[in-house]
Structure 1
Amino acid sequence: MAFLLLPFAWLYAGIMALRNWLYDIGWKRSETFAVPLLNVGNLRVGGTGKTPHVMWLVEELLRQGHRPAILSRGYGRRTRGPRLAGPADSAATVGDEPWQYYGQFAPQQVPVAVAEVRRLGVALLLREHPETTVVVLDDAYQHRAVRPALNVLLTELARPFYEDFVLPAGRLRESRAGAARADVIIVTKCPPNLSAAKQEVAVQKVRRYARAGAPVLFSTYTYAEPQSLQAAEADASGPGAISGPGPAVLLTGIAQPGPLREYLAAQGYEIRFHAEFPDHHAFAEADLAGLRERWQPGWPIFTTEKDATRLLDPALQGARAGLPFYTIPVRVAFLGDGGAVLRQLLPEMPTQRS
């Protein structure tokens, strides 16, 4: 089937190549701003780990004394146009990933905004938060109308861009040649013990398309202890700690739930039922009713932080009642000296801003 779709893929790739060429020669304009923009994106449709990598960057920028802000498209939200996230918002109004960012970084006063047109979103952030020293863009690799100071390209080890094809024959948003715009390429979702030999094989394949001198780094996921979802609500105390490994249920609405399921299995949990939905799925009462039918008392129900932003919709409060949901916080760690290399690429703090 992929072979039959190749002519359409070539056509799509040609259109994207022409668009990129027009930006490269300056015929189409890329806008810059008074503060640097750091972009985290990918060539492939679907999850490559952008959210935890954005969080790593923001946490590192905070440690360095920056006043970062986050800008996302806000995929799946019911609103349109530039919008700053605030306490009255939800996953429905700003999108699940931006709402997750807001919940994570509101205590550190990191502004979060959404905008389909990124330049309008950056302008909104700088107007409402002039103290901002750097803006982290979530998923803007193909949005050439803004020019990042650092372009971070992510690619999964299990589904690398250099083995994929352009839509609709494959899952790439543009051709592999797009990797040449990256200032650093991170191979994500690696096993923590990935050998140096296997890393070198991937590096050589990436460098067939990457810009000369662009570092190639490797990252893995780390998982924290389960957190009660109910305890996150002001009017609920939660079901308490999990007694230990055993039967469990998994609920996901993300692109790649495999790593989480593998982690839970490694921890000794037996996933008796996996309610697997598409990425950004808007959970409904019927979804939770179906889950309840497969669940038994005493079994924890695991989900992701991203999915939790949608599960906490007040409209689902009744459907969630009595179900012991737990989130598994996911963070990024770099193999070898990857973290140190990436830190060196981050912008320095400005000496003074008017």
Structure 2
Amino acid sequence: MHEPDFWYRPSSWMSRLLMPLAAVYGAVAGHRLRREGFDAGIPVLCVGNYHVGGAGKTPAVLALVKLLRDLGETPVVLSRGYGGRLRGPVMVDPDRHAAADVGDEPLMLARTVPVTVARDRLDGVALARSQGATVIVMDDGFQNPAIAKDASLIVVDAGRGLGNGCVFPAGPLRAPLPPQIARTDALVVIGDGAAAGKIAAAVAVRGKPVLSAHLKADDASLASLSGKRVAAFAGIGDPNRFFRTLRASGVEVVLERAFADHHPFSQGEIETLIAQARRDALTLVTTEKDLARLRGRGGLPDRAREIVPFAVTLEFEDAADLRKLLSEWLFKAREKKFRTSK
């Protein structure tokens, strides 16, 4: 879905009109947050958002996986597989599955780390453990109470913040903010801007760490676009962040096309984009997540082979702080599980 513009306006009659629905939704969501989840038996680290839409969660998952491996851990990512038809539990195989099977984010992540998709997250835990996981990284699921989290790392975009601060459907929040903050173990603020200042202060006043990070373009992606004028398209939570990242990396963006998050591109849409790019002598570029949705079980179709993926990684201003946090979280989680098992 496209996020409504009024979610990111400070005052809107539409938000006020939807407040009664938001109050009901928020009460249910807040109650769910208080439920006790199932103990997975191994540490569970959750990477989530306070709100619907994108903020850089997938790059954060990959950055967390890298640090965990540096610590000698064997992480497996657990995802609900949004947009995929398979209920699971199933281990994602990029050579066998398409985004229509398991979702675009799991398919993209599975090229780097083992990923299990399961609508029932308890089944996903069992499959992840059978694969030798020493730690489970939950991709989203912060508001889902099914599994107890040993630590939750929340991602927010510095430029967008939390919009009007209202609960869905009056605003983008998935649940009232106070119970979400109460369950936050660390906040990651991505990019530049002041929109996340208040939420960062609210987390910090509880004594929880606030980490700063930024998206860095992959060197190979930059090299492939050097000196070229591009037509950029994206169907992610915040397409404008992708366009800004391109420009901040020195890429000349001539044409932009934004689609809804997880948009299933039709053959006609791709052919139109390719024709527009060819007409104006532009290089067509998109995100890795969008390209994952274009891949079929046999790989990229011929019509999409000239599309250039723009890869990014999340870099923390002080990765040592996050590494120390991870070590502490894992130690405390294992100590707690040891005590309760006796």
Aligned to 1:80: 87
Deviation string 1:238-264 (CA, Å, 9 cap, x unpaired) is xxx647324211121111122321233
Are 2:113 and 1:94 equivalent residues in the alignment? no
**Aligned partner of 1:114 among 91, 112, 117:** 117
Within 2, Cα distance between the matches of 1:77 and 1:205?
Answer: 32
Gaps of 5+ in 2: 1-13
Within 2, Cα distance between the matches of 1:209 and 1:4?
Answer: 30
Shift of 1:163: 4.8
Residues 262 and 19 (structure 1 numbering): CA distance in 2 closer, same or farther, change over 3 Å?
closer
Shift of 1:3: 1.3
Report the TM-score when normalising by structure 2: 0.84
Aligned to 2:185: 183
SS at 2:265's partner residue? coil
Deviation string 1:25-59 (CA, Å, 9 cap, x unpaired) is xxxx4111221000001110000111000000101
Are 2:63 and 1:62 equivalent residues in the alignment? no
Shift of 1:152: 0.8
> Is the Cα–Cα contact under 8 Å of residues 217 and 313 in structure 2 kept in the other structure?
yes
Within 1, Cα distance between the matches of 2:314 and 2:72?
Answer: 21
Within 2, Cα distance between the matches of 1:225 and 1:327?
Answer: 12
Gaps of 5+ in 1: 24-28, 106-110, 229-240
Aligned to 1:309: 292
> Is the Cα–Cα contact under 8 Å of residues 245 and 267 in structure 1 kept in the other structure?
no
**Aligned partner of 2:309 among 327, 334, 344:** 327
Q: What one-letter code is carried by the residue in structure 2 that aligns with 1:118?
A: R
| Higher mean C-alpha deviation, range 294-303 or range 267-276 | 267-276
Report the TM-score when normalising by structure 1: 0.81
> Is the Cα–Cα contact under 8 Å of residues 164 and 171 in structure 2 kept in the other structure?
no
Aligned to 2:3: none
Shift of 1:209: 5.9
Residue pairs, 1:9-158, within 5 angstroms: 9-21=22-34, 23=35, 29-86=36-93, 87-105=95-113, 111-127=114-130, 129=131, 131-158=132-159
Equivalent residue pairs, number? 315
Are 2:253 and 1:271 equivalent residues in the alignment? yes
Deviation string 1:253-305 (CA, Å, 9 cap, x unpaired) is 11112232123334454333223221111222111111122112752211111
> Is the Cα–Cα contact under 8 Å of residues 43 and 135 in structure 2 kept in the other structure?
yes
Within 2, Cα distance between the matches of 1:113 and 1:268?
Answer: 36
Within 1, Cα distance between the matches of 2:278 and 2:161?
Answer: 39
Within 2, Cα distance between the matches of 1:280 and 1:169?
Answer: 22
Quick one: percent identity of the two aligned structures? 33
**Aligned partner of 1:219 among 213, 220, 225:** 213
Residues 112 and 93 (structure 1 numbering): CA distance in 2 closer, same or farther, change over 3 Å?
same
Residues 259 and 18 (structure 1 numbering): CA distance in 2 closer, same or farther, change over 3 Å?
closer
Q: What one-letter code is carried by the residue in structure 1 that aligns with 2:301?
A: Q
Within 1, Cα distance between the matches of 2:225 and 2:123?
Answer: 49
Residues 126 and 316 (structure 1 numbering): CA distance in 2 closer, same or farther, change over 3 Å?
closer
Within 1, Cα distance between the matches of 2:199 and 2:221?
Answer: 39
